[in-house]
Structure 1
Amino acid sequence: MTKSALQIARAAYQPKLPNALKGGVKVMEGNPTQSVADQEEIKKLFPNTYGMPLLKFETGEAKEYAPMNVGVILSGGQAPGGHNVISGLFDGIKKMNPANKLYGFILGPGGLVDHKYMELTADIIDEYRNTGGFDIIGSGRTKLEKEDQFEKGYEILKELGIKALVIIGGDDSNTNACVLAEYYAAKNYGIQVIGCPKTIDGDLKNEMIETSFGFDTACKTYSEVIGNIERDCNSARKYWHFIKLMGRSASHIALECALQTQPNICLISEEVEAKNMSLDDIVTYIANAVAARAAEGNNFGTVLIPEGLIEFIPAMKKLIAELNDFLAVHAEEYAAIEPNKQREYIISHLSKENADVYASLPEGVARQLTLDRDPHGNVQVSLIETEKLLSEMVGKKLAAWKAEGKYVGKFSAQHHFFGYEGRCAAPSNFDADYCYSLGYTAAVLMANGKTGYMSSVRNLTAPAEEWVAGGVPITMMMNMERRHGEMKPVIQKALVKLDGAPFKAFAAARDTWAKETAYVYPGPIQYFGPTEVCDQPTKTLQLEHQK
């Protein structure tokens, strides 16, 4: 592998660890736990892994551990720091017993089922320390949920002498980890399963998981580029930049980037839903801000938009649901109609309320809602170019206002979508340290015979030495939700809390940001420099901890 100068320099960085992980470790058990909701159903589904205590690590005496082989899987979308979770895991198991071996399953959970793996030796691990991406073993989205998959996995685990498996993933992947842990426990197979909390979206978090790894780096990466665009915007003074950001189920990324860069407008999907806002309400809100800035001679600005916004607009959600049901039955009939008559056909077959919403949409978006469907027959809302939809509708509204003499400015838009750019960035110091600690914590959990736990590292706004490491039972985070028509146990997603400190800080400042050009240009992620620049956690964490 040819290394960049940055990668060579970063390879020398030694991630910081909590004090409790630096020598011998004592495992302290807390109170028994229960799931966040649906306690009886979850308990029935997970009799062997439900109600386990919270675990906290403290400094203890060094112990001797019997040798054990460990497996690791990277599951789902990439997030900066995954390689450091594996590095921390490797260093942790080698410290406990140098004879321990680590095997990586190739291209995600599918590698376990298909028996594709490689031993991860010190030479390989050293190539990937402090780097972004998941390319050490690759990732995949195979769901581990069927008995034959569990059994196929068990075959290779038994063959390699693997006693414990670490699954690094988001809420779905960790739900699968919990199901696998329960299955192996019920069968007395002697295989432990530990999860690690990953997702740049930031929606895998709770009292015990303060943030998912990768969120810090992704937000810093996006904020750098948003800051660059804001500076360009403030230099040229002639464009409104509409920027869509990753985060389909929650708006944590948009909110964090807004707190870092202070754009003129940032939409929060959870607020749109809570206020029952229509598409027109959102368009009017943006258009009013554009007109107010134009009145001051400022025909430029920036708008941040969460990727999943459309799904949170109640009227759009209803329209999409009716379209899905209608086209599931009438897809062939619809396809046979001449393209220039398809719009009228749809409008004539929808309820009055949904027909009005559909008729108000620009041609391209209306067409997208009826044509591009996933294998389950659902519209692929993530493909809708929300940033173009909003700017086009704002432009039309402003043109109408201009004709009425209510608006005197000029409106010209540029569009951006920041998604994949943030998923494999070189991890920030925070994520490099946090991920290494998560991996090391997983090693301690396994060495102490634990299964069905997620690696937990807390107190994250303090210096790394003061972080609190331990484990949280995955069943504690679960509730029952409808998936593909059936009620299934899943880890509860964390949405932006409208009564939380991060949102309140944003809401208190946004009217000022809308009128004034209050942009902040964070610049590139800083690895080398004063602590106050290069070791900071997210604004979200700082506000949640009131620091």
Structure 2
Amino acid sequence: MKISPLQKARYEYEPKLPGMLRNGISEISVKEGEPTQSVADQEKIQALFPNTYGKNEITFEKGENTAETKKRKVGVILSGGQAPGGHNVISGLYDALKASNPENELIGFKNGPSGLIEDDFIVFTDDYIDEYRNTGGFDIIGSGRTKLETPEQFAIAAEVCKKHGIDAIVIIGGDDSNTNAAVLAEYFAANNSGVQVIGCPKTIDGDLKNEDIECSFGFDTATKTYSELIGNIERDANSAKKYWHFIKVMGRSASHVALECALETQPNICLISEEVAAKKMSLSQIADYIADSVEKRAANGENFGVAIIPEGVVEFVPEFSALIAEINELLAGEKAEAFNALPTWKEKYEFIENGLSKEAMDVFKILPETIQQQLFLERDPHGNVQVSLIESEKLFSALVADKLKERKEKGTYTGKFNPLHHFFGYEGRCAFPSNFDADYCYSLGYNAAMLIQYGFNGYLSKISNLSKPAEEWVAGGMPITKMMNIERRHGEDKPVIRKALVELDGKPFKFFEDNRDKWAVETAFVFPGAIQYYGPSEVCDLTTRTLALEKE
């Protein structure tokens, strides 16, 4: 296989480890901290996880390694959407296992959790691992979204582990995947299987974070990749001086990606879904907010600009959420078949008009027809609107165009408005990991091996103090149950890891809030450029603006 010069060079990059993990396996000791409790619903979570709840947080430090050095066989699973650095988690895990005992084995279950259920795996070797070091993607073993949540699945997983003599499973994934890891760990403990489960925090969305997990891996690389593209568009906008660019970025449940990209590039507009919800902003209010920027910039002779739109923002608009809820009800069960059988959009529109409340229909009417039709595209497995299919960047540019038309008729606006649209999503999920993500992910994997060696179960691999140089990072672990609460899912109470939304009183948002009015009118664009892998540390090892502001 032909490889690029950069790929060849990245194979040879040696990721940096936290100081206490650089001493050699024999000189890593464990320090136990305080017992933990879940972030909410303590009694319910404890009842569901009697064998793994309330365990102590732990930290690794320099000292004598008192763990047993027996031969171990470990399985690893990549779960959920791709995120830059996943290959390095596996590389770090592999290297630590081999450093602990050359006879240790690491096997990779293929295509996500289903690989464990189907007993489909590969045994890693030096040559195989070396082909994936410091590269993006999850193609080393593939990923999948199968959930491990039924007793039947757990029983099969236990049988597969017993068959191969597996001592531990490492699950690399986001909040849902690590919730599954916690449930599987509890099952193994309750049934005395002798199998440990360790999780690693992954998601480019940045919403798997809390007081212990400072950053999920992949967020750094993805936002730097998007910010490079946004910066390129800003430069183009400032050159052509005739287009407004509406850019949707990934992040359905939280706006961390949008906020980070805004901090890196200083666009004229960036919507924050959490603020939209907190202020109960309507579609009309949001459109007016953007139109104000367009009008003020036009008055300065600048008929161009850049607006960043979070992928899931429409779900946070109260009137739009109410509309979606009514549409879900309108098409429940057999009514969906009746609707789909109608041959023309005109007939479907009449069906909709007769089925929605006046309030919902008032919202529906102001939407462009393309967006109206997107609300009635194929439903998700639960019969709900697939909000991710809604082109919100086009929705808001259309609403802004209507606002500007009204203002032009009143004589308050005389500028030009030519919108262009972009969606940056998959472009960032498999990029070459930044040095930060390469180092962080390798450390997470190496650290996971130490948690296994010391016998921990139901723990998340934890690397903290991430805004400092890697030498000062702190390695350890925390019980996954500490991050959990009870949420209503599909009519049932379920234990889940709480998603972290953008905190409107947090330093990153406050910095954005203090500057956005100026950015809305002035051309204050910043051009981050491509991710740098070689050169001065202050250029190559930068953390995100979000992390830097949070740790000031």
Coarse TM-score class (shorter-chain normalised): over 0.9
Alignment correspondent of 1:156: 160
3-state secondary structure, aligned to 1:371: coil
Q: What is the CA distance between 1:467 and its match in structure 2?
A: 0.4
Q: What is the CA distance between 1:370 and its match in structure 2?
A: 2.6
1:373 has 2:385 as partner: no
Alignment correspondent of 1:166: 170
Q: Deviations over 1:436-491 (max 9, x none)?
A: 00001100000000000000000001110110100010000000011111110000
Q: Distance in 2 between matches of 1:76 and 1:334?
A: 33
Q: Which amino acid aligns with 1:46?
A: F
Which of these residues, 309, 312, 318, is aligned with residue 316 of structure 2? 312
Alignment correspondent of 2:282: 278
Alignment correspondent of 2:361: 355
Q: Deviations over 1:213-246 (max 9, x none)?
A: 0000000000000000000000000000000000
Alignment correspondent of 2:44: 41
Q: Which amino acid aligns with 1:7?
A: Q
Q: Which amino acid aligns with 2:73?
A: N
Alignment correspondent of 1:32: 35
Q: Distance in 2 between matches of 1:96 and 1:79?
A: 28
Which of these residues, 412, 416, 424, is aligned with residue 422 of structure 2? 416
Q: What is the CA distance between 1:123 and its match in structure 2?
A: 0.7
1:332 has 2:314 as partner: no
Aligned-residue RMSD, C-alpha? 1.0
Which of these residues, 426, 437, 448, is aligned with residue 442 of structure 1? 448
Gaps of at least 5 residues in structure 2 are none
Q: Deviations over 1:412-442 (max 9, x none)?
A: 0110000000000000000000000000110
3-state secondary structure, aligned to 2:376: helix
3-state secondary structure, aligned to 1:328: coil
3-state secondary structure, aligned to 1:15: coil
Q: Distance in 2 between matches of 1:361 and 1:451?
A: 50
Q: Deviations over 1:528-547 (max 9, x none)?
A: 1111111010000000001x
3-state secondary structure, aligned to 1:322: helix
Contact 1:167-1:194 within 8 A present in 2 as well: yes
Alignment correspondent of 2:541: 535
Q: What is the CA distance between 1:2 and its match in structure 2?
A: 2.3
Q: What is the CA distance between 1:158 and its match in structure 2?
A: 1.4
Q: Distance in 2 between matches of 1:440 and 1:332?
A: 52
3-state secondary structure, aligned to 2:147: coil
Alignment correspondent of 1:127: 131
Contact 1:347-1:359 within 8 A present in 2 as well: no
Q: Deviations over 1:340-398 (max 9, x none)?
A: 13223312321221111111111111122133311211000000000111111111211
3-state secondary structure, aligned to 1:280: helix
Q: Distance in 1 between matches of 2:351 and 2:188?
A: 53
Q: What is the CA distance between 1:102 and its match in structure 2?
A: 0.3
Q: Distance in 1 between matches of 2:378 and 2:129?
A: 42
Alignment correspondent of 2:12: 12
Q: Distance in 2 between matches of 1:161 and 1:29?
A: 29
Contact 1:369-1:379 within 8 A present in 2 as well: yes
Q: Distance in 2 between matches of 1:489 and 1:147?
A: 16
Alignment correspondent of 1:200: 204
Q: What is the CA distance between 1:115 and its match in structure 2?
A: 0.6
3-state secondary structure, aligned to 2:257: helix
Q: Deviations over 1:189-221 (max 9, x none)?
A: 000000000000000000110000000000000
1:95 has 2:112 as partner: no
Q: Which amino acid aligns with 2:443?
A: S
TM-score, with structure 2 as normaliser:
0.98
3-state secondary structure, aligned to 2:456: coil
3-state secondary structure, aligned to 1:156: helix
1:490 has 2:496 as partner: yes
Q: Distance in 2 between matches of 1:509 and 1:403?
A: 31
Q: Distance in 1 between matches of 2:198 and 2:381?
A: 31
3-state secondary structure, aligned to 2:131: helix
1:515 has 2:521 as partner: yes
Q: Distance in 1 between matches of 2:377 and 2:441?
A: 41
Q: What is the CA distance between 1:332 and its match in structure 2?
A: 3.1
Q: Deviations over 1:86-116 (max 9, x none)?
A: 0100011111111100000000000000010
Q: What is the CA distance between 1:181 and its match in structure 2?
A: 0.3
1:80 has 2:72 as partner: no
Alignment correspondent of 1:58: 61
Q: What is the CA distance between 1:25 and its match in structure 2?
A: 1.0
Q: What is the CA distance between 1:399 and its match in structure 2?
A: 1.4
Q: Distance in 2 between matches of 1:332 and 1:85?
A: 46
User: What is the count of residue pairs matched by the alignment?
Assistant: 546
Q: Which amino acid aligns with 1:6?
A: L
3-state secondary structure, aligned to 1:440: helix
Contact 1:348-1:355 within 8 A present in 2 as well: no
Q: Distance in 2 between matches of 1:369 and 1:62?
A: 58
Q: Distance in 1 between matches of 2:457 and 2:338?
A: 52
3-state secondary structure, aligned to 1:370: coil
3-state secondary structure, aligned to 2:30: strand
Q: Deviations over 1:401-422 (max 9, x none)?
A: 1122111000001100000000
Q: Distance in 1 between matches of 2:312 and 2:44?
A: 30
Moved more, 494-503 or 24-33: 24-33
3-state secondary structure, aligned to 1:375: coil
Q: Which amino acid aligns with 1:29?
A: E
Q: What is the CA distance between 1:62 and its match in structure 2?
A: 4.3
Q: Distance in 2 between matches of 1:182 and 1:511?
A: 50
Q: Which amino acid aligns with 2:8?
A: I
Q: What is the CA distance between 1:334 and its match in structure 2?
A: 2.5
Alignment correspondent of 2:350: 344
3-state secondary structure, aligned to 1:421: helix
3-state secondary structure, aligned to 1:71: strand
3-state secondary structure, aligned to 2:319: helix
Q: Distance in 2 between matches of 1:336 and 1:366?
A: 18
Which of these residues, 222, 225, 231, is aligned with residue 229 of structure 2? 225
Q: Distance in 2 between matches of 1:285 and 1:344?
A: 32
Q: Distance in 1 between matches of 2:337 and 2:162?
A: 50
Alignment correspondent of 2:179: 175
3-state secondary structure, aligned to 1:493: coil
1:117 has 2:107 as partner: no
Q: What is the CA distance between 1:247 and its match in structure 2?
A: 0.3
Q: What is the CA distance between 1:336 and its match in structure 2?
A: 4.0
Q: Which amino acid aligns with 2:339?
A: Y
Alignment correspondent of 1:252: 256
Gaps of at least 5 residues in structure 1 are none
Q: Deviations over 1:282-303 (max 9, x none)?
A: 1111111101100110000000
